[in-house]
Each structure stands twice: as structure tokens, then as C-alpha cells.
């Protein structure tokens, strides 16, 4: 048999990924996947070398969310996969498509102490929908197709495929490889017409209706019909953090500024692709009316009735259901009164909360607070940019100040509350923009603690010429740090590990000087004119990242809330 008639596992795997619509691979190479990464590039895949496996995993899942085809995270054996598990858990809980490919110890070295030997298929299983090792090179395409299909069908999630070094290197006759057709897009679930009628009847008889728009509506591409629903029938809506932009945050029907009032007093809630988990306080009193009627629409049947029973539970594609609901309400010539008592209650609370926030925004004294800083960022950045954000107060306050006009344009710590996601998310978003939205900017707003998890990915951004603007809202700590005087007095203590507050970081750290590594000027800001100038300069940079380091008051906090942001356990 001639060499031309043979093919190795590396080539089969690379071409199988391409055949299944995969375009991007993020990872860190080493034994035994160096040759695989080269084969991937030769097959026509984009390979993005990252600095940390977790960040690679975050980037790969973001591409999956934005394109609805999984990105690939490529890792080495043992520690490589272990480092990626945090990213896998994040994608699985966030419901984002992801395919992780792990190199592993050669099969004849298993059980005798092979290099980085690890039970990888079993380790990955709790964090994914499908975890397997192809038995030989000829069946690689079959497993790749299944891994891709399971990552996008039903509730999107994670697949893991394991490849021992000897399997990747093995040569087989090309005629024996079992090639498969491309996995088609997932079938769309249509709602039961009787349930659509029940949902419409509940909405039409509601006195205090509310639409909650979740990340699932953004993933479904349902923004057009959801906007029709809200605007045609004068319905107040509340977006979840990554449901922002499905309907413009500036829309007159958005009641984010009266979130607590809306949740606490709504008598009927239409839940579109959102889950009643901790983000929505489980749908339970006192954050919700104990008698609220929930209309739950989800692509995952197992999610229905979770936490509390829904009055109407509908397994369906969000877009298809909402279109049928709009037609049903229109056929009844129904529209909720924009001058109702419910709208009056909501608007009164919106006006009060906005007035309180405006007082914070107008306080430009040094050191700055969160609201002022984030407001002037919002005033300067492009209105159609993708906003990536993480950190405690930085992210949470930013959800109300940094606005989105378009779906999938808010990427943050999400359901798993994962810190360190920002740079990886931003890298993937910037690569997506190059293909699908040339000229669109990615703004990565980080707390100083959050930035520390994955900060070296700025080198990845520079290497691939990605014009990401990183803004670090620096309060010297986690939640809050110390001022300079207090910090220096602590350092004079004999045993600093016993007296330094666990939430504290070093004060006035010049993170922007990381740009010196690339002979690029970073920006250190302590007031609003400096911040505005730094943003204007950064927006002119088209082929490299920039860092803007904004110092704020270490004691700055969010405004007083009616309830704690996290629902406490009662046990």
C-alpha cells in the first residue's frame, strides 16, 4: 500500500472538525497534540494559541454561543484537561456549545505511570453531555459528528473527545475511514397550539403582566418577534443579564430600573428562555408575588416547572412560540393599556431610581465611584459594541449602566458566576467581529481582581492583532480594598498574612503598564477627563489591544437595595 493511500489520526480529526462546520480552535499545545494543531491549520481551521487552558475554554464556548456551532478547545493530557474543567462547567451551566479535545497518555502506557496519565473521559463526564474516546482512527468522524450534534441539540452544552497520542499518530488506509455527513442544524420545537391559547388568555386577563427575556431568546435569534410582542401590546419587559439587547435597553418598555418592583408585584410573568435560578431568585417570595402565574417557555423540557410549578409550561423554540403568541393576541385585538395602574407603579419606581442613580453619576469627585465611571464609559463607547464584563460590583452595576441595543452583545460571568472569563470572551468576540461585523468594537470592562485571573491573555490579543479595549475599574481589591495609607500601615505589621484583609489587593497597581511589553502606551486615569481622553485614543487603535486603568474609591459600593442581590438560604 502506498503512503498516499494512508492517513493518520491527526489528519482525520482535523478534517472531521472542518466537515462538521467547526471554524475556530483555541488551545495550548504540547505532547501529544502539537502535530494535531498543525494538521488543523493545514485543514483550514483557525488556531488561536492561548496562555491558559481555562481562557482557551472560555473563548471556544463564546464562539459557540455567537455562531451556534461549537468552538473547539484543544488541551494536552492530564493538567491541560484539568485546567479546562472550570471552562467546561461554565459552558455546560451557561448552555453554550463547546467541544473539548484532549490529548492523552498513549494507551500502552496506561496503568504503568505514563506521562500525564489521567482518567480523562471519566473526569470530563460530570461537566459535559458526551464524553468518549474513539476506539480507533477510522471511527473518529463518527464521534466528532456525535459530539458536535449533542453540543447543539436540545439544551446546548459540552462534548469531550479523548485522543491518546498513539491513536493520533496511527496510520490507516483512507478507504477504511467511516466519513459522515455534516450534522444539520437542530430541529425546531413547535408549541402545542392549546398551550399558546392558554398563555394568551393568561396574559390578556393579567392586571400586572411582565415579560422576562432570557439568554435563550438571544441564542434563538428571536429578537425581532420579541420586540414585536413587547411593542405591539405595551408589555413591560425585564432582561436577564445576557438577555440584554434582545429588546433595546433604552426601549420605553424596559423596566430594568424598577427590577425589584416588577418582580415583586407582577401577577403574570412570561418567561422567555430564562431560568428560575439564583439570578431570578428562584421565582419565590418575597422577591415574587406568592400567587404569580408563570408562563414558562424553554427549549429544554427538563427545565419546565423547575423551582416552582408553572401555570403554563411550553416546550418550544422561543421564536416560533412568540410569533404564534403575537398572532393570537392580535386576533383578539388585545393590547395592554400603557396608562394602566401597573405602568404607573413601574414608571414611578423607574423615575425614583433613575434620580438616585443620577446623583451618583453627577458626583465626579476624586476618587471616583462606580456609577460615574461606568456612565462616562457608556457615553463614549460605540452604541453597537460588544460589552464583556466581569467582577463583583463592576459587573453588577455595569449591567444597569452599560446598555445594549443588540442581542448577544453582553457577555459576562453568567449563570455560573465565573471570574476570569473576560479576556477569553473578548478574544472570541473580536475574532467573530472580524468575520461577521467588521469594524465593531469589543469593550472588556474588568474589575481589578477579575483581570488578575486571565490578564496575560493581553499577549494573545496583541499576537493576533485584536483591537480590544480593556478597562480595569480598580478599587484595590475584591468587592473593596484599602486606601494607600491603610495599606502601607498594614505592610509595616510583623505578620502581614494575619492582618491583611482577605479582600485586599495591592493599591494603585499600574496594570496599564502591561502594554509596555508591546511598546504601546497604556492609560492610567484618576478623573473623568483622563478617562474620556483615554477612551477616545483607544478607539483609534485598530490592530492591537489597549488597557485603561481607572482608579476608583476602594470604599465605593452599589446603591442600597430593597433586597440583597443574592437570595440567602433559609436553612
What would the pLDDT profile of 461-475 be if each residue is shown by its tens digit?
Answer: 999 999 999 999 999
- Are residues 336 and 432 both part of a single domain? no
**pLDDT for position 1:** 42
The per-residue pLDDT for 338 is 83
149 shares a domain with 91: yes
Q: What is the mean pLDDT of residues 214-238?
A: 98
Mean of pLDDT values over 170-184: 94
Give me the number of domains the chain comprises. Answer: 3
Q: Could you tell me if residue 432 is inside a domain?
A: yes
Whole-number pLDDT of residue 107 = 85
Instruction: Inform me whether the pLDDT recorded for 530 exceeds 90.
Output: yes
Q: Are residues 273 and 368 in the same domain?
A: no
Looking at the fold, whether 343 and 368 belong to one and the same domain comes out as: no
Summarize the confidence of residues 150-161 as an average pLDDT.
98
Cell of 353: 431610581
In a domain? residue 20: yes
- Does residue 93 fall inside a structural domain? yes
CA–CA dist 408, 400 (Å, integer) = 16
Average pLDDT over residues 167-192: 95
Report the C-alpha gap between 426 and 442 in whole angstroms: 7
**What pLDDT, on the 0 to 100 scale, is given for residue 495?**
87
Please report, for the domain that includes residue 374, its CATH number.
3.40.50.970
Same domain, 154 and 215: no
**Which of 295, 321, 347 represents a domain boundary (last residue)?**
347
User: What mean pLDDT is predicted for residues 78-102?
Assistant: 97
**Residue-level pLDDT at 564:** 75
Helices (DSSP H) in 277-340: which residue ranges? 318-331
Does residue 3 surpass a pLDDT of 60?
Answer: no
Query: In the predicted model, what is the mean pLDDT of residues 232-242?
Result: 97
Calculate the average pLDDT of the chain: 96
Could you say which of 176, 202, 224 is where a domain stops?
Answer: 176
Strand 209-213 and strand 268-272: pairing? parallel
Whether residue 414 sits in one domain with residue 440? yes
Would you state the pLDDT for residue 463?
Answer: 98
In a shared domain, residues 135 and 222 = no
Asked whether residue 560 is domain-assigned, the answer is no
pLDDT at 162 over 60: yes
Domain match, 150 and 200 both: no
Q: What is the dihedral of CA 284, 287, 290, 291, to 10 degrees?
A: -110
pLDDT value of residue 567: 82
Please compute the mean of the pLDDT values over residues 313-336 and round it to a whole number.
97
Same domain, 291 and 393: no
* Residue 188 clears pLDDT 90, i.e. is over it: yes
Mean pLDDT, residues 228-252: 98
For residue 432, give Cα distances in angstroms to 406, 408, 418, 422: 15, 12, 22, 15
Q: Is residue 300 part of a domain?
A: yes
pLDDT, tens digit, for every residue of 333-368?
999 888 899 999 999 999 999 999 999 999 999 999
Residues 6+ apart with CB under 8 A from 382: 440, 441, 539
| 184 falls within a domain | no
100 and 216 within one domain: no
299: CATH:
3.40.50.1220
Q: Which domain holds residue 271?
A: 193-347
For residue 270, which of 337, 225, 331 has the smallest C-alpha distance? 225
**What percent of the chain stands above pLDDT 70?**
99
- Condensed to tens digits (0 to 9), the pLDDT of residues 57-77 reads 999 999 999 999 999 999 999
Query: How confident is the model over 442-448, as a mean pLDDT?
Result: 98
Helices of type H across 75-157 = 79-94, 120-124, 140-152
Of 316, 347, 378, the position where a domain reaches its end is 347
Q: Do residues 405 and 537 share a domain?
A: yes
State whether 374 and 510 are in the same domain.
Answer: yes
Does residue 444 register a pLDDT over 50?
yes
**Least trusted range by pLDDT, from 137-141, 201-205, 347-351, 486-490:** 486-490
Q: Is the peptide bond before 367 cis (omega within 30 degrees of 0)?
A: yes
Write down the pTM of the prediction.
0.96
- Quickly state the pLDDT bin for 85 (edges 50, 70, 90): very high
Does residue 355 fall inside a structural domain? no
More confident residue, 92 or 115: 92
Confidence band of 2 (pLDDT split at 50, 70, 90): low
How buried is residue 129: exposed, middle or buried, by Cβ count under 10 Å (0-12/13-18/19+)?
buried
Question: Does residue 394 sit within a domain?
Answer: yes
| Confidence band of 108 (pLDDT split at 50, 70, 90) | confident
Could you tell me which residue, 494 or 34, shows the higher pLDDT? 34
Pairwise CA distance, residues 532 & 352, whole Å = 28
What confidence score (pLDDT) does residue 4 get?
62
Q: CA 470 to CA 548: how far, in whole Å? A: 6
Amino acid at each position: 500500500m502506498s503512503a498516499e493511500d494512508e492517513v493518520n489520526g491527526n489528519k482525520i480529526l482535523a478534517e472531521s472538525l472542518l466537515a462538521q462546520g467547526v471554524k475556530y480552535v483555541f488551545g495550548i499545545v504540547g505532547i501529544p497534540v502539537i502535530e494535531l494543531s498543525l494538521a488543523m491549520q493545514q485543514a483550514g481551521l483557525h488556531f488561536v494559541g492561548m496562555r491558559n487552558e481555562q481562557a482557551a475554554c472560555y473563548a471556544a464556548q463564546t464562539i459557540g454561543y455567537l455562531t451556534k456551532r461549537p468552538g473547539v478547545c484543544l488541551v494536552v493530557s492530564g493538567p491541560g484537561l484539568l485546567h479546562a474543567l472550570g471552562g467546561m462547567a461554565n459552558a455546560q451551566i451557561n448552555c453554550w456549545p463547546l467541544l473539548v479535545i484532549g490529548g492523552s497518555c498513549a494507551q500502552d502506557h496506561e496503568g504503568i505511570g505514563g506521562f500525564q496519565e489521567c482518567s480523562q473521559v471519566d473526569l470530563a463526564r460530570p461537566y459535559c453531555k458526551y464524553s468518549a474516546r474513539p476506539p480507533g482512527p477510522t471511527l473518529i468522524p463518527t464521534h466528532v459528528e456525535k459530539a458536535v450534534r449533542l453540543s447543539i441539540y436540545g439544551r446546548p452544552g459540552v462534548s469531550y473527545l479523548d485522543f491518546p497520542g498513539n491513536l493520533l499518530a496511527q496510520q490507516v488506509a483512507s478507504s477504511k475511514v467511516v466519513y459522515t455527513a455534516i450534522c444539520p442544524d437542530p430541529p425546531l420545537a413547535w408549541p402545542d397550539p392549546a398551550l399558546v391559547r392558554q398563555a394568551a388568555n393568561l396574559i390578556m386577563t393579567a392586571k400586572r403582566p411582565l415579560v422576562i427575556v432570557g439568554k435563550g431568546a438571544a441564542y434563538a435569534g428571536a429578537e425581532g418577534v420579541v420586540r414585536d410582542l413587547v411593542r405591539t401590546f405595551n408589555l413591560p419587559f425585564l432582561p436577564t443579564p445576557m438577555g440584554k439587547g434582545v429588546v433595546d435597553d433604552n426601549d420605553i418598555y424596559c423596566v430594568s430600573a424598577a427590577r425589584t418592583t416588577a418582580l415583586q408585584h407582577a401577577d403574570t410573568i412570561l418567561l422567555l428562555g430564562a431560568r428560575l435560578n439564583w439570578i431570578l431568585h428562584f421565582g419565590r417570595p418575597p422577591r415574587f408575588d406568592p400567587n404569580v402565574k408563570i408562563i414558562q417557555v424553554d427549549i429544554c423540557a427538563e427545565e419546565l416547572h423547575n423551582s416552582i410549578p408553572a401555570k403554563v409550561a411550553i416546550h418550544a423554540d422561543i421564536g416560533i412560540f412568540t410569533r404564534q403568541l403575537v398572532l393570537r393576541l392580535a386576533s383578539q385585538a388585545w393590547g395592554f393599556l400603557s396608562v394602566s395602574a401597573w405602568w404607573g407603579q413601574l414608571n414611578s419606581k423607574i423615575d425614583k431610581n433613575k434620580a438616585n442613580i443620577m446623583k451618583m453619576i453627577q458626583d465626579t469627585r476624586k476618587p471616583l465611584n462606580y456609577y460615574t465611571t461606568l456612565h462616562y464609559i457608556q457615553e463614549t463607547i460605540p452604541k453597537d459594541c460588544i460589552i464583556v464584563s466581569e467582577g463583583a460590583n463592576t459587573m453588577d452595576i455595569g449591567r444597569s449602566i452599560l446598555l445594549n441595543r443588540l442581542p448577544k452583545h453582553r457577555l459576562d460571568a453568567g449563570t455560573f458566576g465565573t471570574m476570569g472569563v473576560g479576556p477569553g470572551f473578548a478574544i472570541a468576540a473580536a475574532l467573530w467581529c472580524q468575520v461577521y461585523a467588521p469594524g465593531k468594537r469589543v469593550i472588556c470592562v474588568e474589575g481589578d481582581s477579575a483581570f488578575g485571573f486571565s490578564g496575560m491573555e493581553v499577549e494573545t490579543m496583541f499576537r493576533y492583532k485584536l483591537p480590544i479595549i480593556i478597562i480595569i475599574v480598580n478599587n484595590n481589591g475584591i468587592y473593596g480594598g484599602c486606601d494607600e495609607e491603610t495599606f502601607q500601615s498594614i505592610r509595616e505589621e510583623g505578620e502581614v498574612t494575619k492582618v491583611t484583609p482577605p479582600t485586599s489587593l495591592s493599591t494603585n497597581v499600574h496594570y496599564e503598564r502591561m502594554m509596555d511589553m508591546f511598546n504601546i502606551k497604556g492609560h492610567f486615569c484618576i478623573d473623568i477627563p483622563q478617562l474620556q481622553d483615554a477612551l477616545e485614543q483607544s478607539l483609534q487603535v485598530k490592530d492591537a489591544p489597549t488597557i485603561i486603568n481607572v482608579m476608583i474609591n476602594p470604599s465605593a459600593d452599589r446603591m442600597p437595595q430593597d433586597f440583597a442581590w443574592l437570595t440567602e438560604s433559609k436553612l
